[in-house]
Structure 1
Amino acid sequence: MALPPLERLAGLHDGTAVATGTGVKVAVEAPEGVTVETVGRDDARLGRAGTPVDRVAAQAYTSFELASVVTVPKETVLTEPVRIAVHGEGGVAFAHQVIELGPFAEAVVVIDHTGDAVLAANVEYVIGDGAKLTVISVQDWDDKAVHVAQHDALVGRDASFKSVVVTFGGDLVRLHPRVSYAATGGEAELFGLYFTDRGQHQEHRLLVDHNKPHNRSNAVYKGALQGEDAHAVWIGDVLIRAAAEGTDTYEMNRNLVLTDGARVDSVPNLEIETGEIAGAGHASATGRFDDEQLFYLMARGIPEHEARRLVVRGFFAELVQQIGLPDVEERLLAKIEEELEAAVA
């Protein structure tokens, strides 16, 4: 039987984890015009998008030595993505990353996590007025990795933020995407795809804080689970404050259980402090294969093994398409294919 989540945090939750020199290696590839800096703890740009909300995030914030700041200048429209590779080298690391877009800038950022590490991190996204930022965060860790991170996005006036979180590997992965608004007219889209395998614990805890009027948010997360003690947790919190009139928000979580022994906890929450909203809703569903879809495909001569694969690929298709980068999409589809080979064999 798998250990409880707290016992798998490798000391990140109680202060006993100590950074090592071989924790993670970070490499940034940025197009021309983008500024990449390594800064100290006293840099004024740190902490603007949000502050730590739990013990692990607080330890990460007090323990990192240097932070990385990626800046896309005002009105700069990138035609190539910024790529940040985070590779674990077997140790413990605390990290802080800031990605800032100036007013009316547009950028796509890919943050790719691989290797083996115990990593606690805070990531900030500061999106200027009228700017558009898409972030694809991929958790493709080795089997023993532990990754806990808080992602804070501050969305400016009439700005757009799209987050695509993809989680495959790791012994324990727990992510906290959080969104707040600096002014009116902002839009946030939060998409997530996770495939939880035998013994893995994957947790995604969202908070969208509608703290300003006339903003919009939409969250869609989908997961598939297989194997004994596979455990996925999804908690979607949306807070609509009294001042946030005209808010339009929706959140949805769907889970597909492929084998016995897997467990899903799915909790969508809405807290509404004003009746003057454009719309608010949530949905959650967990189930097995759609027997009607399976029968339809098999009735047309498709073998059961292939039919099951097609059903699961279709389940994830709309989220993969949100990525918008062919090389990343192809890699993730190949990873899903690899997981499905184990699931339906």
Structure 2
Amino acid sequence: MKREPSVREVLDRLVGDAVLSPEQAEAVERALRAREPRRGRVPWAEVAGYLGGGLVLVGAVLLVATSWGRWGEFARIFVTGAAAVVLLAAGGGASGGLGRRSAVRGRVSGTLLALGAGAVAATVGVALSDRAGAGAVACGAGLVVAVVGYVLVPSVPGVLASAGFLAATLLFTLDATVGITALNAGLAVAGGGLLVAGLAFGRVLPHRETGLVAGLALAVAGFQHLLGDERAEPAAYLLTFVLGAGCLALLRWERSWVLLVAGVAAVSIAVPEAVWDLTGGAVGGALLVLIAGAVLLLVSFAGFRLRRDAGGG
């Protein structure tokens, strides 16, 4: 069997035929070598970065929690603050500066900065543990650090940390001011989720799909939380349905699997809830499943019609 010539042999032949210069051949070989998948190599540096960052944060929290009664306030703040400094410094160092960075560096740096935001929130929470509104201030500090970290080093953990701290800040702020109810907590979380989803949909967030997932998940969870208030039950399934219908309507202009899944899920949740409420709970579980299936079929039919009208086949 005839052996296939290697890349180096092919390039040498092209140089000999004066098709490529030696410098061009070297450049082509380097480019091809860079594109070759490195099989069998475990990204130990990346794995170590994730594990190290997680262990630093968890270790600091556990150390403070298990020694709370024996340590003074300064010792508690020092441990959590040191963890925050280590994580943020490591995240900044892993980013490689403000210039062009590799994908691996970006992932590790973004993860460490998100963990650093959690450590900052823990530090502020420990420092203000005996004061009113400590949770709101702590989560607000974590939100600021998470957002700044995401702006400097965009990453999936940065989006998730920012969305989580936003929801937590809203809830703790309500708790510290007017008090939490099912109505205001649900609307606050849903509003925060819609803000995140809107930024993602408007292409403000580089990680668009992650932002849509986080934002729409918070929005659905917030609207569903209204079910805890008997007077707000109609608003719960009505707003969930409107959200789902809006996501499905946007598919006409934006083909996104996140909008599709969120729309189908929200509508499938809202319709059975509305039927159950309007019938006073007279409809059984089997019929609710049947109704949910019928809704999915209608959504599927509407989707195919929209695709045909748009000329998508």
- Would you call these one fold, judging by a TM-score over 0.5? no
TM-score normalised according to structure 2 size: 0.29
Structure having the higher strand fraction is 1
- Larger relative contact order, structure 1 or 2 (CA cutoff 8 Å, min sep 6): 1
- Larger helix fraction of residues: 2
Q: TM-score when scaled to structure 1?
A: 0.27
